[in-house]
Amino acid sequence: MAQINKSSEYFNTVLYTGNASTQSITGVGFQPDWVWIKNRSITADHKEFDAVRGVTNALITNSTAAEFSQSGLDSFDSDGFTVGSHVGCNGNGNSIVAWNWLGANGTASNTDGSITSTVSANTTSGFSIVSYTGTGSSMSVGHGLSQKPDIVIFKNRDAVVNWGVYTDLIDGSYDFLYLNETNAKGDSGSYSASANTFSFSASSTVANTSGEKVIGYCFHSVKGFSKMGTYTGNGSTDGPFIYTGFKPAFVFLKRTDTTNDWFIWDNKRNTYNVTTSYLRPNLSDAEGNYDAIDILSNGFKHRSTLNASNASGGTYIYMAFAESPLVGTNNIPATAR
């Protein structure tokens, strides 16, 4: 059985100060395959870069914009990455956060589906990046993982359309949300997933338009390292405790039964409780603060009554990655929940 000996070898957050020039960002601990960058100090877009699409090719989570080129992330390096002069990734004197995931540090052609995809897959950590071209009709795509993904985030690289987040965690059937919007969940009549592929039974502007390139970020829970799930709010400052089986380094969530923003907290921007510093992937605004959650040794606990994270009876979806496991060992079996 594959093992994760150290959580930060597969996911890590780094903080840095921009210099409006070119600088090498180190301390990630590995060569990342997906880097998500946000300037915390000012209104600036959330920038997505991955090694499958290639350096300088940016996507924006708070926008419907198609892929474009800019001097944002200029290289993926052995212990991090190099940023260029763009203010969103390297504004002079600005505080910036980057969340980093390890894929395969390389790509492979995948023929598990009805069409061929290009993947960078890490089956140990349950994460893959998938690139393919839509057909506009029924098709399946190999995602490179060893089990069904819990969550897949899609963006059509060629078109000005929403980001799609597809999952069956909310109610057992497949639903979708838009990463760049506040919408409640909607039922998906065309998407499904299996241990080897995800599929669309019809055309989809988000992820299956004929001749248009799509990128997908796939995740499934891995015991001791990552957890995707749902919870119900109670509207109290003594809010629900969400068991993950590890101390979270990153918490990403969205209310699903009504409109509200997406939120991200991490253990580097706040190193003690209460964890207050949030960023919203669907908005370009600077970092905000409220008494949101406590990050604990085995999960996280809500400390706010805000509708965004803990409304009474509200339903929420979350994704968390580990700082350290629940028990005092670094040997974490890499098996799904």
Q: State whether 214 and 130 are in the same domain.
A: yes
The alpha carbon torsion through 111, 150, 158, 52 (nearest 10 deg) reads -60
Interatomic CA distance for residues 267 and 247, integer angstroms: 9
pLDDT at residue 333, as a whole number: 36
Say if residue 230 is in the same domain as residue 176.
Answer: no
3-state secondary structure of 230: strand
Q: Please state, in angstroms and rounded to a whole number, the distance separating the CA atoms of residues 121 and 217.
A: 10
Q: Which two tokens stand for residue 80?
A: 């991090």
Domain boundary among 219, 240, 275: 219
The number of folded domains in the chain is 3
Helix (H, G, I), strand (E, B) or coil at 44: coil
Name the pTM for this structure: 0.95
Q: What is the pLDDT of residues 32-68, one digit of tens each?
A: 999 999 999 999 999 999 999 999 999 999 999 999 9
75 and 17 share a domain? yes
* Count of CB atoms situated within 10 Å of the CB of 111: 9
Q: Is 238 helix (H, G, I), strand (E, B) or coil?
A: coil
Domain end point (choices 74, 101, 128): 101
Residue in 138, 120, 122, 115 with CA at minimum distance from that of residue 130: 120
Of 219, 240, 262, the one marking the end of a domain is 219
Low-confidence ranges of the chain (pLDDT < 70): 1-2, 325-337
* CB neighbour list of residue 171: distance below 8 Å, 6 or more residues apart: none
Distance CA 65, CA 63 (A): 5
Distance of CA 181 to the CA centre of its chain: 15
| Cis peptide leading into residue 55 (ω within 30°) | no
Residue-wise DSSP of 173-201: S-EEEETTS-PPPEE-SSEEE-SSEEEES
Residue 52 shares a structural domain with residue 120: no
Residues 131 and 198 in one domain: yes
Strand-pairing partners, residue 321, are 226, 250
Q: Indicate left, alpha or beta for 227 from its phi (over 0: left) and psi (-120 to 50: alpha).
A: beta
Domain housing 232: 226-333
Separation of CA 114 from chain center: 26
**Both 181 and 247 in a single domain?**
no
How crowded is residue 269: how many other Cβ atoms within 10 Å of its Cβ? Answer: 19
Retrieve residue 316's tokens: 């929420």
Do 241 and 270 have their domain in common? yes
Q: For residue 89, give Cα distances in angstroms to 45, 56, 83, 136, 196.
A: 9, 11, 7, 35, 35
In whole angstroms, what is the distance from residue 108 CA to residue 52 CA?
A: 10
User: Minimal CA–CA distance to 73: which of 18, 120, 144?
Assistant: 18
If asked whether residues 23 and 43 sit together in one domain, one would say yes
Same domain, 190 and 252: no
d(CA 24, CA 75): 9
Q: Does residue 199 sit in the same domain as residue 156?
A: yes
Identify whether residues 237 and 329 lie together within a single domain: yes
Q: Return the bridge partners of 328, or none.
A: none
Q: Rounded distance, CA 78 to CA 6, Å?
A: 17
267 and 284 part of one domain: yes
Edge-to-edge strand list for the sheet holding 80-83: 23-25, 80-83, 73-77
